[in-house]
Amino acid sequence: MAASSIKINRDSDRPLYLQVADELRGQIETGALPAETRLPASRTLAKKLGVNRITIVNAYSELEAEGLVLTKVGSGTYVAPAKPALAADDRPPELSRWRGPLALRRQWNAGQMMQEMMRLARHPGVISFAGGAPASDFLPVNEFRRAINDVLRRDGAEALQYEEAAGYYPLREKIADMLARRNINVRAEDILITAGCQQAADIALRVLTRGSESVLVVEDPCYLGLLNLITARQITPIGVPMDEYGLLTDRLEQVILRHRPRLIYVTPSFHNPTGLTMPLDRRQSLLEIATRYGVPILEDSSYVGLRYEGKTLPSLKSMDHEDIVFYAGGFSKTLVPGIRIGYLIAPAILQERMIATKQTADILTSPLNQRALYTYLCTEDFDAHLALVQREYKLRRDVMVAAAERYFPDSARWRVPEGGIYLWVEMDPGGPTATELYLTAINYNVAFSIGSVFSASGSFAHAMRLNFATPPPDDIEEGIRRLGKAWHERLAQHSVSGSQLRRQRSAIEFL
């Protein structure tokens, strides 16, 4: 086949992958591409046509769904014989249709899927709502340049030496002062500095759990980084469903009685991925149940500083009189993710074990970064920075919600979060899945996170997470417009060839 004979029109509204599929279909139907002809590798054809590889993969998938081509394992994609043979391997026939980068092979875990999605989302021209990053626009570059220079001038070699494993004491004091403003009364000695909130969670898990007989309760859906830790540490997760007020505490009691969990992990404020915030009575009920059964809670406060409206709520830690709450926090979402500084406050009797566990992980967190953060907090106006990002993220959230109202199908559902950086959008369960939508959306150069990667139980196939903080407002408007277009297109395909798409969907979900 001469790739040069494939014509694509970049000004057309028809997605590129469908244009490529149309061209190939035409050539197959006219016999220009006879049966058994091997199609070029997706990478090669993509290069020749100057398009994303996923465009070609999707075009081939489209033709395969129509029975016009078939994929032979390890060999390539071929024009189907007159009477199409189905799978060339021992899997159910439908499964061979999904062989592209997003073909959700059984052995793929959510982390790998997310990495693949992030890779596609980083492609030039793609507007991405997929990540978990704060906006680069507001990262305090000059302030940190000044802080690092000050540290090196002031502390010299000390700033580049090993440090106490628990962390730079003045920074721990500073964090204790900040926490006092949240009614969390701890001493500097109670604070362990970690490499981000992620390491704080990892340390708590390592100290409290031992392999697969240890059960950990998580919200369903849950922060993917925590699910990845669970997989890495081979712990058994039990996902407790959420309603609009967060984790369903009446289900929690049954779970505790049946599974005897070692820990309950929750993000009560501006939860990742749903953006939800647990109201006071739900917090009280969670704490009461955990205290009654003596199950520790790990409270993740990553997004606490990012409230745009509504009343500030007390943390579980501030209401904990039995010392069963571990409190993990950091500066990634509110200030800078790149310095990798977080902290963990553990119940008093476990603090020494936490420090020893931290030492086995990375000895200590970068002394230079700790001192730079300390200097930033002493010399710059963190409150003013917070006020700035709160104002800007609120604006971006409002732009996204307004655009979603304009461009998304009527069946789309969401709750406007009072803070944080995510909008969780639920799709019609009878329509295309988020994965199917993703495959179309990426051709429109827009990306998001599919809901099922955040689930310990593999649920939420019809949900997506959109980060509204990272892209600037104009990109949000344009990205949501593109996503709406992709969504309407998928819905139209779905209703035209419902049974065919249903087969594809069940293939994806099976994998």
Q: 3-state class of 423 per DSSP?
A: strand
Please name the residues in contact with 391: beta carbons below 8 A apart, sequence gap of 6 or more: none
Among residues 27, 61, 128, 198, which is the contact residue for ligand PLP, using CB under 6 A? 198
State the CB neighbour count (10 A cutoff) for residue 137. Answer: 11
DSSP 321-334: SSS-EEEEEESTTT
Q: How far is the CB of 73 from ligand PLP (least distance, A)?
A: 36
Least gap, CB of 335 to ligand PLP (angstroms): 10
**Nearer Cβ to ligand PLP (64/220):** 220
By three-state DSSP, how is residue 69 classified? strand
| 337 touches ligand PLP by CB under 6 A | yes
Contact indicator for 237, 209 with CB cutoff of 8 Å: no
Contacts of 367 (CB under 8 A, 6+ apart): 158, 159, 160, 161, 162, 163, 168
Q: Is 332 in the site for ligand PLP (CB under 6 A)?
A: yes
Structure tokens at 225: 């980084």
CB of 365 to ligand PLP, least distance (A): 11
Q: Does 225 bind ligand PLP (CB under 6 A)?
A: yes
Among residues 45, 344, 403, 5, which one has the least CA distance to residue 195?
344
Yes or no: say if 47 and 12 are a contact pair by the CB < 8 Å rule: no
Q: Does 302 bind ligand PLP (CB under 6 A)?
A: yes
Query: Least CB distance from residue 79 to ligand PLP, whole Å?
Result: 45
Q: Which stretch binds ligand PLP (CB under 6 A): 30-38, 75-83, 166-174, 192-200?
A: 192-200
Give the nearer residue to ligand PLP in terms of CB position, either 70 or 227: 227
Is there binding between residue 223 and ligand PLP (CB under 6 A)? yes
Determine if 342 is a binding residue for ligand PLP (CB under 6 A).
Answer: yes
Distances (CA, A) of 242 to 167, 280, 292: 36, 15, 21
Question: CB–CB of 389/135 below 8 Å?
Answer: yes
CB of 301 to ligand PLP, least distance (A): 9
Tell me: does residue 132 bind ligand PLP (CB under 6 A). Answer: yes
Q: According to CB under 6 A, which one of 6, 197, 229, 298 is a site residue for ligand PLP?
A: 197
Q: Does 330 bind ligand PLP (CB under 6 A)?
A: yes
Are residues 241 and 220 in contact, defined by beta-carbon separation less than 8 angstroms? yes
Q: Which of 61, 272, 365, 433 binds ligand PLP (CB under 6 A)?
A: 272
* Number of residues assigned to the chain: 511
Residue closer to ligand PLP, measured from CB, 213 or 362 = 362
Sign of the torsion formed by the C-alpha atoms of 375, 377, 378 and 384: positive
Binding mask 439-478 for ligand PLP (x = CB under 6 A): ----------------------------------------
Residues that bind ligand PLP (CB under 6 A): 132, 196-198, 223, 225, 267, 272, 300, 302, 330, 332, 337, 342
